[in-house]
Amino acid sequence: MDQTFNWLLEASRIAAALQERILASEDVADFLAELARHAADTLSGAGSEVYCSVTLLRDKNRISSAGSGEQSLYMDETQYKCGGGPCLYAAQTHVLIDVPEVDKEPRWRSYLDLVRDTGVKAILGVPFNLEGNATGALNLYATRAHAFDNSAPLIALYAEQASLSLRLALRMGELAEMKEHLAAAMESRTAIDIAIGILMAENRCDQEQAFSILRRASSNRNAKIRDLAAEIAGSVAGKPVQTYFKP
């Protein structure tokens, strides 16, 4: 009972810390960096420093990565340059990859030979449980062989809470992106409406005819309708016209 309570308490503590970092982050990339630093601090133990990086993929292509320091970022970048490695494999396949001894792992040798020169002795790639076409992994590097053998429960707990937080951060990022696209669309629509009004007055025509004039001019000049509309509105105002939209 005490052990269960302790794990629930630890899960709550990790969740609270990660939620604070979501609220303090400006975007998903910023949160990934905060997550990597917090994971390194949480999972480092006596006698073995843990370096951490986070890889985020969409359709198995990297869209973002972050690290707790220069060393973890170097190991991630080297992994991509080598065309693969344990952590990238974990992110792509949703399979936990444990490399307790870098010297004895037969796979990914071109990458691991470079990693060994940095002093890293053990690697653990822990996949996140994300939504849609997004996948990713928590990448852990330690300076002692078998460094993660006795911390598997804590790492699994951390990865579970990190997955929930990352899913929330991704949703918030998608909503912010949708808001930006909506604002851009509405501002373009406003510029077009202004230009149509100007063309209606100049050509004494209706709205449909004015839009046809604008569309033909856009095609003839190989310009986007919204750019041409802004140019027309600006020519009348004598300066660039700014449109505003507050969603």
- Residue 49: band (very low, low, confident or very high) from pLDDT cuts 50, 70, 90: confident
Structure tokens given for 226 = 């919204």
Same domain, 26 and 100: yes
Same domain, 125 and 52: yes
Which of 145, 174, 203 terminates a domain? The answer is 174
Same domain, 162 and 182: no
- Amino acid 6: pLDDT: 53
Q: Does residue 242 lie within any of the structural domains?
A: no
Same domain, 130 and 96: yes
Residue with tokens 């870098």: 102
- Domain range enclosing 218: 178-237
Checking if the pLDDT of 62 tops 80, the result is no
Q: Does residue 43 lie within any of the structural domains?
A: yes
Same domain, 138 and 52: yes
- Residue 109: band (very low, low, confident or very high) from pLDDT cuts 50, 70, 90: very high
Asked if 131 and 170 touch (Cβ cutoff 8 Å), the reply is yes
Q: Does residue 246 lie within any of the structural domains?
A: no
Q: Does residue 245 lie within any of the structural domains?
A: no
Checking if the pLDDT of 3 tops 50, the result is no
Q: Does residue 52 lie within any of the structural domains?
A: yes
- Amino acid 5: pLDDT: 43
Of the candidates 161, 57, 59, 151, the residue with the CA atom closest to the CA atom of residue 98? 151
Q: What is the mean pLDDT of residues 168-189?
A: 64
What's the number of domains the chain is made of? 2
Q: How far apart are the first and last CA of the chain?
A: 50
Of the candidates 169, 224, 211, 215, the residue with the CA atom closest to the CA atom of residue 24? 169
Same domain, 150 and 188: no
